[in-house]
A and B are shown apart, each in its own frame.
Chain A
Amino acid sequence: MPDGVATTLKSSEQPPIGVGEAPPSPVWQALGGLDRDVHLIRADTFRDTAMGAGFVLSALAKLKADGLFVWVSQKYLSCEAGHLYGPGLKNYGLDPQNILFVEASALKDVFWSVEEALGSGSVAAVVGEVHTAKSLDLTPTRRLALRSRRAGVPVFLMAANSAPFASAARTHWLVAGMERLRGGHPHPWMRPPAWSLTLTKNKNGPCGTASVGFDVRNKAYFAPGAMDALPSRSTLKPLVSGGIGLASGMGGALEPVVVRLAAERRLALEQRRERQ
């Protein structure tokens, strides 16, 4: 992991939510309100739904780590966008055993299942995933909003493939990937999860756009900022001097093993040199 990233984290102007003062951007303020009410998360295409799901899962992980979640998915989606994968959820800081995965083919069954889950009194959050966002208009979302408020349980509705529209949700989000420069040769590791979040509707404040990353280990959002500075092999050293676990803010658990092994070897060499 590059020094650029590590220093960005430390001297970040926008600290993770829940730590210190809330950053001024409306997106960061809205991220704090994901623990209640109905929220609608859209992606432009099916291939982007994984990023939407990642965003929702991050909200769930922040909400209550050991809570029970119900994930209702319209059946058609599993061919278009894949279905939730247990080992990946574990990777992402959630216990897959706490997620009840429900597949319904008809749209009305999806809404019905979400409502039933809300009324059951045993869940921490409910996610409804539908094929097209056009169906998430005023009537069903208002029903869900009322129920969600009564039960005190947040609802996340996800959809791909549609233009903006009216609904009773508290916030509308558009999730997209963070663009990166094309380099010559592929870089040998990936960034932690990070998205470009656009708030297209906000009942409690202004809208806006921000880049938001998710730190899996600490269950906190961070501003990726200078992450786009492409890392190179020569920047390994600062990471090593700070210790292996330093980059935990960057999802240290997900680093390639190879890199960590190389870093350890370098650390050992350095220590030997110092002793001499």
Chain B
Amino acid sequence: MKCAGGAADAAQGEKEREKECHNSGRRIMHVWLPRFPTDRIARQSTRGKTDPLSPQNPVVVVAKVKGALVVEAVDENAHGQGLAPGLTLSEARAMVPHIKVETADPDADQRALEKIARGLERYTPFVGLDPPCGLFLDISGCAHLFGGEEAMLQDVLARLGCWGFSARAGVGDHPALAWALARFGDGGVLPRGEGVFALAHLPVDALRIDGETAAVLARLGLKTVENLLSQPRVPLVRRFGPDLARRMDQALGQQDEPITPLSPVEPFSVERRFAEPLVQMEGVQGCLKELSVRLAGALYRRGEGARKLTLRLFHSDGAVRETSVGTSAPLADPERIPKLLMPRVEALSARIEDESGIDLMRLGAVETGPLVSRQGDLCEGSEVLGDLAALIDTLSERLGVGAVQRFLPADTHQPAEADLRRPAQTTPLSEAWSEGNATDPWQEESTPLTLRRPIRLFCPPEPVLAIASVPDGPPVRFVWRRAHYHVVAAEGPERISANWWSGEADKTCDYFAVEDDEGRRFWLFREGLYGREPGEPRWFMHGLFP
């Protein structure tokens, strides 16, 4: 894991780092948001109009379960008055008449959880979701940047508190331990190397087993983790299935449990933290330049360039803004990186200055490629290619990647398939600019069969009403877009049959290049052959000649 930059707390960080050198290993933090649904609703409804003095009614979140409205979550106030998840709404109303009822919205919860996870990416790039209301953070090697694990944990809790979410967090050697500690223990940090026996007194639910199994285990007298782990394993597995065994293995640290990070981990990233939130655009721009220099330096030392850059702005209210730009060639130029990103940042400027300010900026190279050296080249070519790459990037950045296209040769005789254009940014320069190989249809200048092709093509072809003097001959008159044309010259037919693998649906096309009496040239075709193919042949306009 790479965590470059950041303000490390000097003395304690050193100590922590030394400790880590001795026993390297995973450290996982689990963050549990016990009142997540109600906190989310409170945060959304009171945004901008907080009134802490007015008495708040207890809030419960209900969902329909088997036709009845059942309480799913309660806030602190309701909890204090004895309400708990699992009650039906009528029972809850009977206990506390003045409760405020909200409907559960799992989608909004999921979105909010993802937002929180993105906000917590300021601590570590590995943040995984544990729906419906938990998060895993892989903090191996990150904690020293925040003054140790305990300080980091407090920082996380304080930040979540600021965002309006009550939380509990635990840190342990593997996810199962952190989970149990956060949800069933008192939270806090479990020292390195202490295994599941530190949690021996916790109820069996702490092993993340489902409620039914836990109830059966409790009836059998296996109430704590210690009780369960001291039992012979085979009968347990036979009785309760492999799921219980898996959970036990995970708790013992014998089975690995990977965390899927929410966003892909960038191979290169640099960041800058601010003691005070940054609200001015000039500051953001200056910082972006500084980050670009650092990122370009890191890339250059490794001989790599960025193909895709991501800039993340972590706001102090928990929101995270992310912008990505692609580049047409691997880029490690400290001048060009801010130029590419600046238009996007400027688009955000109004919002940045309105909102709570930025307290962390992170610039990462998500995709990289080998940097092609451009030094010591005497010919002009590479310089031009570099300028061209810059032009392609600038145009793609504003108009979209698909809008800037390069023509590619296609080895096909179907006119529509030969119309091959690809985004210039994603088509590597070397491929498109190299000398064509033997199969390249555009390189075969010496072939006798140089057939006429129009310079403008209609896609799809437009229907035309045409009259031909003989069934298979060229048209003598035709109507296209409600205008009549008289043909004075016609070349053809050039017969292009459908690909044999496309079946009966596609018909043979006879192409004619025709000229009308006003000097316009058209590329028409007749789809189908008289008498030999089913259906009435139809005429189409496919292109225009110069």
Interface size (A, Cβ < 8 Å)?
Answer: 68
How many angstroms from the CA of A214 to the CA of B546 in the assembled complex? 10
Which of A85, A178, A187, A194 is the one whose CB lies under 8 Å from B455? A85
Interface membership of B87, Cβ < 8 A? no
B419, A86: Cβ atoms closer than 8 Å: yes
Interface membership of chain A positions 233-269, coded 1 if the CB is closer than 8 angstroms to chain B and 0 otherwise: 0000000000000000000011011001000000000
A182, B395: Cβ atoms closer than 8 Å: no
How many angstroms from the CA of A158 to the CA of B491 in the assembled complex? 29
Name A113's closest neighbour in chain B (CB-CB): B395
Which of A97, A117, A254 is the one whose CB lies under 8 Å from B432? A97
Which of A55, A191, A194 is the one whose CB lies under 8 Å from B489? A191
B420, A120: Cβ atoms closer than 8 Å: no
Name A216's closest neighbour in chain B (CB-CB): B546
A88 in contact with B457 given A50-B544, A81-B544, A186-B489 (CB within 8 Å): yes
Interface size (B, Cβ < 8 Å)?
Answer: 66
Interface membership of B518, Cβ < 8 A? yes
Interface membership of A199, Cβ < 8 A? no
A85, B387: Cβ atoms closer than 8 Å: no
A83, B403: Cβ atoms closer than 8 Å: no
How many angstroms from the CA of A178 to the CA of B488 in the assembled complex? 12
Interface membership of A122, Cβ < 8 A? yes
Chain A residues with CB under 8 A of B453 = 85, 87-88, 90-91
Which of A85, A180, A196, A254 is the one whose CB lies under 8 Å from B515? A180
Interface membership of A270, Cβ < 8 A? no
- A112, A122, A176, A179 — which one has the most chain B CB atoms within 10 A of its CB? A122
Name A58's closest neighbour in chain B (CB-CB): B546
Which of B399, B403, B432, B452 is the one whose CB lies under 8 Å from A91? B452
Min CB–CB distance A49 → chain B (angstroms): 7
Chain A residues with CB under 8 A of B491 = 188-190, 256
Interface membership of B262, Cβ < 8 A? no
B474, A78: Cβ atoms closer than 8 Å: no
Seed contacts A122-B385, A176-B519, A186-B488; 15 additional CB < 8 Å A-B pairs: A53-B455, A82-B543, A84-B455, A87-B415, A89-B455, A91-B452, A100-B391, A100-B405, A116-B391, A116-B394, A176-B518, A182-B517, A187-B489, A190-B545, A256-B491
A47, B450: Cβ atoms closer than 8 Å: no
Interface membership of B433, Cβ < 8 A? yes
How many angstroms from the CA of A117 to the CA of B395 in the assembled complex? 9
B392, A186: Cβ atoms closer than 8 Å: no
Which of B385, B409, B486, B519 is the one whose CB lies under 8 Å from A86? B409
Chain B residues with CB under 8 A of A188 = 489-491
Name A78's closest neighbour in chain B (CB-CB): B459
A182, B486: Cβ atoms closer than 8 Å: yes
Min CB–CB distance B224 → chain A (angstroms): 67
Beta-carbon contacts under 8 Å, A44-59 to B: 47-51, 53-55, 57-58
Min CB–CB distance B240 → chain A (angstroms): 62
Interface segment out of the listed A2-10, A17-25, A26-34, A101-109: A101-109
Beta-carbon contacts under 8 Å, B429-467 to A: 432-433, 441-442, 448-459
Name B518's closest neighbour in chain A (CB-CB): A177
How many angstroms from the CA of A121 to the CA of B483 in the assembled complex? 44
Min CB–CB distance B446 → chain A (angstroms): 11
A186 in contact with B452 given A97-B407, A180-B515 (CB within 8 Å): no
A85 in contact with B474 given A50-B455, A188-B490 (CB within 8 Å): no
Interface membership of A193, Cβ < 8 A? yes
Name A252's closest neighbour in chain B (CB-CB): B450
B456, A116: Cβ atoms closer than 8 Å: no
Which of A85, A99, A178 is the one whose CB lies under 8 Å from B457? A85
A85 in contact with B395 given A104-B403, A190-B491 (CB within 8 Å): no
A-B contact pairs, 21 of them (CB 8 A): A47-B544, A51-B519, A57-B546, A83-B459, A84-B456, A87-B453, A88-B543, A91-B452, A92-B455, A104-B403, A120-B388, A122-B387, A122-B388, A122-B391, A123-B391, A182-B488, A185-B469, A186-B488, A188-B489, A190-B521, A257-B448
